[in-house]
Amino acid sequence: MRRDLNPRLFPCHMVRIVLFDLLVERAEFGHGGNIEVLRPFLNNSDVVECLLLTPQMEAEDSRAEGCFPLKESDVPRWDDEYPFWTEHTEIFDAGKIHLRRIKMPSKDTFQELRPDAIVCSGSRRNVSMWEPWMDGCAELLRWAVVENIPTLGICFGHQLLAKALGGDVTRAENYTDIVSDLLHHSTDPVVGVCQVGLFTHQDHVTELPSGAMHISSAGHCGYAAFRLEGKQVWGVQFHPEASRARIERSFRLGHINEEELLAFQRDHDGDALLAAFANQVPPGKN
């Protein structure tokens, strides 16, 4: 009698995600947040290959044309609180996530990587206080827009995406830590599934780039989410990856204080947004 092979034992679908890992020094909001972003892709693929970029940590002389693994000697500014690794794999019932750190690529190398999706994370840096390494990130995001690669910018990534495309970012007088209702101004298959967002930021997008649709606002934030019209490109000021478990562990690690912990007690539905974004990416066939 013929027995069908278990597809989970013989993976045949892989999706490749390029992730700007800009909060790497925070184990939970960095690596942990990355895993929250990546896990929904396992709903449609057996394997998620994630190429991590950390240009904020790289030495300028470490850059080279081509796709090369990132070595510890390439990142003299690495925060020793979070151990460095070049490759790492996490196994889940639905499949596995394989993460590889690579040197910041040129636009030509980036094209050769042929990512299925791009995510730009939050950061402790500020778009309103521009640093040279942000130029390379902005260039790659502009290329992703031209190629219509599904792209999600989160918090800093939302601001960087807006700035890279000609929008404006301004620093507010006060910092905001809040879980807030979202007011939707346009229907959207990704942001529209999320009704409550967790915000922690001081920079704000104050002018959208040309061709951007205003999707959502919050009480303190005029442009809480946008999408480029006709493109699979989104920016969200809030943190859909900041699950309750990640928040509580961040507090235990001393990465957030008690005031921040209390500000983030209300539940939000960012996981629905991450699942909706992952569904915009066709299952990999590699």
Residues tagged active-site? 155, 239, 241
DSSP states along 209-224: PTTEEEEEEETTEEEE
Rg (CA), the chain: 18
The DSSP code for 282 is P
What residue spans of 10-87 are helical by DSSP H? 33-38
Residues 271, 274, 276, 282, Cα dihedral to 10°: -140
Which tokens go with 122? 């939050």
Of 124, 103, 97, nearest in space to 25 by CA: 124
* E runs forming strands in 5-86: 14-20, 47-53
Phi, psi of 221 (to 5 degrees): -135, 110
On the 0-12 / 13-18 / 19+ scale of CB atoms within 10 A, 1 is: exposed
Alpha-carbon distance of 130 to 135, in angstroms, equals 9
